[in-house]
Chain A
Amino acid sequence: MIDDITRIAAAAPALIAGANSVDELRAVEADLLGKKGELTLLKKGMGGLDPEGRKVAGSALNDARDSIEAVLAVRRSDLESAERASMVATEQLDLTELLGTPERGSLHLVTQTWDRLVDVFIGMGFTVAEGPEVETDWYNFEALNIPAAHPARGMWDTLYVDLGDPETVLLRTHTSPVQIRVMTDGEPPIYAVMPGRVYRRDTADASHMPVFHQIEGLVVDRNISFADLAGTLEAFTSAYFGGSIHSRLRPSYFPFTEPSAEYDINCVFCEGNGCRTCGQTGWLELGGCGMVHPTVLSNVGLDPEEWSGFAFGFGLDRLALMRHGVDDIREMYTGDVRFLEQFPS
C-alpha cells in the first residue's frame, strides 16, 4: 500500500503539469483526490490493515495528499493567471467610444442663483420667507408707506388683476410685501431673506422681463442701526462675490426706508478699475436698502422707539446673467434646452 501511495505521489506532479487549463486541472484533481480518486480508494482499503500498519499508511496518505495539493495549488494559480491574462488581452475597450451617455438635467439659472444667495444668507443667520405673488394693495403699497396717488407709485409699473375693487389686487411689483407679512405674522427679532418672483408692466427686451426675481432681506431687532446694514451688506458682498469685491452705500429714496441708500458693489468684471460694463465707474449698482421707515413699523404694530430694522433688496436675474455672461434675459425664459443644458450646475 505504501508503495502505491509513493507511486501515486510521484506520478502526480507530471499529471498536474499536463493539465493545460483550469478545467483540465479540475479533472486531474478529481482523479487524484476526488471521491473516486486513487488516494481515496486506497484510504478506503486501510480498514484491512493492523493498527500499526494503518497508522503508517494513514500518515503516508496524508503526506501524499498534502504534497499533491501543494502542487495543485501552484498549478491552479499559474493557470488562472494565464487565463485571466488571455481574457484581459481580448477585453480591450475604447473609453471614448460612448453610446448613450446618461443625461443629467439642469437647474434653472434663476434657481441656481437663488440657492447660492440663500445659502450665503443662511450662513449669516437668516431664515427664508415667502409670500403670495398676487397681493393686495395694502401689502404691496399702503403698508410700505406708499399711499394711493403717492408720486412714488410711479416707481413701479403695476399689473392689476380683475379681483375685488378696481386696482386693489395686483401682481406684486417687488418682494417687499413679504416683509409686511413676516412682521405681521411673526415677532422680532426677525432676520429673514425673501426671494421671489415679481411682476412689472414692462415689455420684454434684452434686459427687462415683465416677470423676474428679487431677493430682499429684513432685520428687525433692538438697536439695529445703519452701521449694521452697512456691515451686513459688506459681509454678504464678500461672501457671495469674493473677498476682493466690496460694497458702498449712496443716499437714495424709497418710501419704505429712511435713511435710504443705493447698494453698489465693485464691478465684478474689472474689480473696480473701470470697464465698459460699469461705465468706467468701477462700481455696479446692485439694489436698494435702508432703515425700515418708522411708518412701516407702526403699520405692522411695532413701536419704532423699541424696534428698529433695516431692509435691502436686489434683482436676482441680473446676477444669474452676469455670472454666466448671458447678454439677453429673454433667453432664460424660453425653455430652450440648448440654453438650459449649458448650465449643468
Chain B
Amino acid sequence: MKVLLSWLQEFAPFPGDDPVALGDVMSDLGMAVESIERIGEGLDGIVTVKVLELRTHPDADKIQLVDVDLGDGEALQICCGATNLTVGDVVPLATLGTTMPDGMEIARRKMRGEWSNGMLCSGRELALGEDHSGIYILDPSLALGLPIVEALGITPDVLFDLEINPNRPDAMSVAGVARDLAARLGLPFAIPAPNVDELAGDASSITSVDIIDPDLCGLFHIRVIDGIKIEPSPRWIADRLSALGMRPINNVVDASNYVMLELGQPNHTYDLAKMPGGALRVRWARDGETITTLDGVERNLTGGRDGVIVDASDSAIGIAGVMGGASTEISETTTTVLLECAWWQPMAIARSSKFMGLRSEASARFERGVDPAIVDLAARRLAELLAPSGARLVEGSVTVNGELAPTPAVRVRTSRVNQLLGTDISTEQIISLLTPLGFVCELGGEDDVLSVTVPTFRPDTTNETDVIEEIARHYGYSKIVGRAPTSAHTGSLTPIQRDRRSIRQILVGLGIHEAMPLPFLAPGDLARCGLPPEAVTVTNPLAAEESILRTSLRPGLLRAIAYNESHRTDGVSLFELGKVFALPPSGETLPDEREHLAVALAGRDATAAANVWALLARTLGLNDVVIDQSAPPAGLHPGRSGVLRRGGAQLGEIGEIDPGVLDALGLHERVAWLQLDIGVALAAPHGEHRYHHISRYPSSDLDLAFEVDNAVPAASIEAAVRSAAGPLLVTVSLFDVFRGNPVPDGRRSLAYRLRLQAPDRTLTDEDIGGVQRSVVKALDALGATLRG
C-alpha cells in the first residue's frame, strides 16, 4: 500500500518536516516502510523546451537529432533515442549540469560524432511514473525555459510504500493509515464529510437489487449518478492515482479508484444504458457460466465457488468482489451510471480470486474484509469527486442486506493484558490507547474489565487477544521491557543428537566432507542408481527434476561426485546425514521417513568404506553389527558389497557402487559406499564403553598365519580366534593378507597378531602354547590351516 503525505494530511495534521521520522512511526505500528520517495525533488535544472526541428543522425539509425528552443530563440542540438516527438512539442529538457533523480549527471556529450547538449526526459526519468515509452509531452501552451516543477504544478510530496499485514484491512486505505498514525501521534483524525448536491429523483425507481445468496453478499448498496460526461480526470486526481501505482483512465474510473484507495471501499460503476431495467441480482455462479471481464478475457465460472452479479436476463455482468464485466463497461457515450458499493464474504472472494488466478485491488481488499459502514460515505465521496464534470447523485438509494456478522463486544481484562504482555498498564491507559482507534471502551460491572466494541473497519479483531495486540501495538513494542523466563529448565541434546555429532566428527576427521544434496530426484534417477523406482511423488513440482522424493541418499551423493569429477576434482570423499522417504506402510498416511547416513569415497575401493564403518562401529559401540556379503544389495558391486545386519534387521549397505551404475552416471572413478539407517542402528542400546582393567604384568605377542578359503570371511576367522583364545587375549589384529604361490588358488593366507596378557601374573611359555593350540584347533573347524 502506497500513501502520499499530502493525502494523509487531509485526515490529520501530520507534520511534514521529517518524513523519515514519520515513516519510523508507521513501521513501529506494524506498517513497515519499504521505501520513502520524495516527489518533486531532484528536478532542478529540468526546463520546458520546444521542438524546433527533427533531423536524422548521419551515423546512427536509432538516434534523432532534435533542435530545441529554451525560450531564447536559439536552436540547441540534443541527441534523442525516442521517436514520439513532433515539431512544436513542448518537452522537458535536463540541461547540462543537472543531476537526475536517479543520480545520473547530465554533461555535454558526443554521440556518434554529434553533440548532445542535454537530455530530453521520459516520465520515468523524471520519477513521475513508470512510463518510459517516449519523451514526456507537455502542454504546448506552456512558456519555454520554465522549471519543470513549475510547469507541471508539482507540489513537493512524500510517497511511503508500506507493507500491510493481512490482519490490517483498515490499513488498506489512506484514511485507515492516517487513523492509525494519528492515534499514535495524538493528533485529531477526521474523514471530511463529502459535499454533494443531489439531483431530485428516486434511485429506487431506476434500479433494484436482489440478494439471492445472502452467504455471499453481506450488503449491497447502489446509487445512481446522472449527468456523466466522460473526460480526463483533473490533474491532481490523475497524479495521486499515478503516484499510488494506478493508471489514470477517465474521470469515472479514476474517481472509483480514488475512493477505493482513499477509503478502502472498492466499488463498481455500470453503464445504466447497457442494463435494461436496471435490475441487479447477486448469487453464486453456476457451473458452465461464463463472463467476459473488463480486461477482455472470457472466464469460466465455477458453481458455488465464484459469486456473480447478474442483470435482469440473469446473465453475469460482474464477478463478485473480483472484477466487473465488459458488457456494462463505462464508455465515451455513458451518461448515467449505477454505482455499486458492496460487502462480500471475505473467504468467498479469497477462494474465487485464488482459484481463478485473478487478483485485483478490489479482491485484495474484500478478502481482508472492508468496512460495511462506509458504503454511503464512499458513494457520496465518489459523487463529490465527479461533481466538477457535472455529474450528480440522484436522490435515494437501494440498500439490501445479506448475512453480515454483528460487530462483537469483547471482554478485556486488564490483568490478562498485563499477564500476556509482561507490562503494568492501567485500565485508563488501555482506554486511552484504544479509543482513538475507534474502539469503544465501557467499564462493566467488574473492576478492571472493559467491554470493548470493535469498530466495523477492524473485522480481524474478534477476541481478547486480538484487542491485546492492538493495545501492545499502540503502547509500543519497544516499550515492553524484556526479561527472561524465571522457571527452572535445563537444556541438552538427546542421545541421537549427540551421536550425530560424534558421527560427523569421526567422518570429518577421516577427511570426508559433508554435503547436502537436495532431497528431490528426477524420474529415472533411482533406476540409474540400481534402486527400485517406487517412491513418493510431488503433486505440484516446479520442475520434473524435483518431482520425486528420494528413497536413498545414493543418487544425490553420486550426482555430487559426478559434479566434482566434471570440474576436474577427483578422489572426492563426501558424506550426508539426511532424511529418505519410502511409501507409507499400509494404513499410514505419512511416508516411512528415515534418517540415513551415507558415505561415498571416489577413487577408493570397498575396503575404504569398510574401514570407515569399522571406525564408526567401534566409536559408537555398534559391536553387534555384522557385514553380510551373502546377498549384495542392488546397485552395488556384487563381489565387493554386503548388507550391515544386526540379528535379522538390515541396518544398511556397504561396499562399492556397481560399475554399471558408475557408467550410467558417467562416473570415471570407483566409488566406495556406506549407507546406514541411523535411526534404527542407534535406537538399540550402544556405546556403553565399559572399563577393562589394564594389567601391570608383561604382555606377549603371538603371530599366527592361517591358510583359509576365500569364501570364509576374515571376520569369521577373527571371531573364532577371539572366542578360542580365551581370557588371556587382549587384542587381535590382522597384519598381513597374502595370495599366490605357495598358497593354492582360491585360498589366502591371513596373518594375525594376538597380544596376550594375564591380569595377575607374567605369562609362561605354557600359557602361550595353550592359546596357540586352542586357536589352531578352532580354526581347523573352519578349514583354516596354520602355516609353518
Contact = CB atoms under 8 A, between A and B. Distances in A.
Contacts of A183: none
Given A104-B511, A167-B539, A228-B483, A259 B590 contact: no
A211 B29 CA distance: 33
B165 A106 contact: no
Contacts of A150: 350
A40 to B, nearest CB: 31
Interface of B: 27-30, 32, 165-168, 346-347, 350-351, 354, 367-368, 419-423, 463, 465-466, 468-469, 472-473, 477-478, 480-485, 487, 489-494, 497, 501, 504, 507-520, 536-542, 546, 549, 556-557, 559-561, 563-564, 567, 569, 572-575, 578-579, 581, 584, 589-591, 593
Interface stretch (A45-53, A79-87, A107-115): A107-115
B350 A337 contact: no
A88 interface: no
A64 interface: no
Contact of B546 (A149, A163, A167, A210): A210
A308 B30 contact: no
Nearest to B351: A149
A105 B513 CA distance: 4
Nearest to B470: A259
A135 interface: yes
A37 interface: no
Interface string A217-234: 001011111111111111
A260 interface: yes
5 contacts: A102-B511, A159-B538, A159-B541, A248-B478, A253-B165
B507 A105 contact: yes
Contact of B515 (A161, A221, A253, A335): A335
Nearest to A227: B422
B460 to A, nearest CB: 9
Contacts of A124: 491
Contacts of B516: 108, 110, 332-333, 335
Nearest to A304: B465
B360 to A, nearest CB: 14
A235 B29 CA distance: 24
Interface string A231-272: 111110000000000001111110000111110000000000
Contacts, number: 254
A201 interface: yes
B119 to A, nearest CB: 28
Interface stretch (A2-10, A26-34, A69-77, A125-133): A125-133
Contacts of B517: 333, 335
Given A103-B511, A115-B501, A250-B30, 11 more contacts: A105-B573, A107-B514, A110-B516, A133-B593, A161-B538, A163-B584, A248-B477, A258-B466, A337-B513, A337-B572, A340-B515
B225 to A, nearest CB: 32
A259 B473 contact: yes
A136 B589 contact: yes
A167 B540 CA distance: 10
Contact of B32 (A110, A258, A260, A262): A262
B165 A252 contact: yes
Interface residues of A, number: 90
Interface in A185-203: 189, 191, 197, 201-203
Contact of A227 (B481, B507, B511, B520): B481
B166 A293 contact: no
A340 B492 contact: no
A227 B491 contact: no
A325 interface: no
A291 B420 contact: yes
B167 to A, nearest CB: 4
Interface in A108-164: 108, 110-111, 115, 118, 121-128, 132-136, 149-152, 154-155, 159-164
Contact of B468 (A122, A203, A232, A259): A259
Nearest to B511: A103
B419 A223 contact: yes
A164 B30 contact: no
A227 B480 contact: yes
Interface of A: 102-108, 110-111, 115, 118, 121-128, 132-136, 149-152, 154-155, 159-164, 166-169, 171, 189, 191, 197, 201-203, 209-211, 219, 221-235, 248-253, 258-262, 291, 293-294, 308, 332-338, 340-341
Given A201-B542, A221-B487, A226 B567 contact: no
- The 5 residue pairs across chains A and B that have the minimum distance between CB atoms: A227-B422, A335-B560, A251-B30, A225-B422, A231-B482
A105 B508 CA distance: 4
A134 B563 contact: no
A259 B507 CA distance: 45
Given A123-B491, A125-B491, A161-B539, A251 B477 contact: yes
Given A152-B166, A225-B420, A259-B473, A189 B518 contact: no
Given A149-B351, A160-B540, A105 B511 contact: yes
A132 B593 contact: yes
A189 to B, nearest CB: 6
B542 A293 contact: no
Nearest to A234: B482
Given A108-B515, A133-B593, A127 B477 contact: no
A338 B477 contact: no
A211 B521 CA distance: 13
A307 B559 CA distance: 49
A152 B591 CA distance: 27
B491 A121 contact: yes
A151 B546 contact: no
Given A105-B510, A132-B593, A337 B539 contact: no
Nearest to B368: A151
A295 to B, nearest CB: 9
Nearest to B510: A105
B481 A163 contact: no
Given A127-B491, A250-B477, A253-B165, A231 B483 contact: yes
A253 B168 contact: yes
Contacts of A249: 477-478, 480
Nearest to B483: A231
Contact of B514 (A151, A154, A338, A340): A340
A136 B574 CA distance: 32
B534 to A, nearest CB: 12
Nearest to A168: B589
Contacts of A162: 536-539
A258 B462 CA distance: 12
Contacts of A333: 516-518
B560 A133 contact: no
- Identify which of B165, B422, B561, B584 gathers the most chain A CB atoms within 10 Å of its CB: B422
A191 B485 contact: yes
B267 to A, nearest CB: 21
Given A191-B491, A340-B513, A169 B421 contact: no
A132 B590 contact: yes
Contacts of B483: 227-228, 230-231
B669 to A, nearest CB: 13
A319 to B, nearest CB: 15
Contacts of B515: 108, 335, 340
Contact of B519 (A211, A229, A262): A211
Contacts of A231: 481-485
Nearest to B468: A259
B508 A232 contact: no
B420 A308 contact: yes
A334 B563 contact: yes
Given A136-B589, A162-B539, A338-B567, A226 B422 contact: yes
Given A123-B491, A151-B368, A251-B472, A105 B564 contact: no
B419 A308 contact: yes
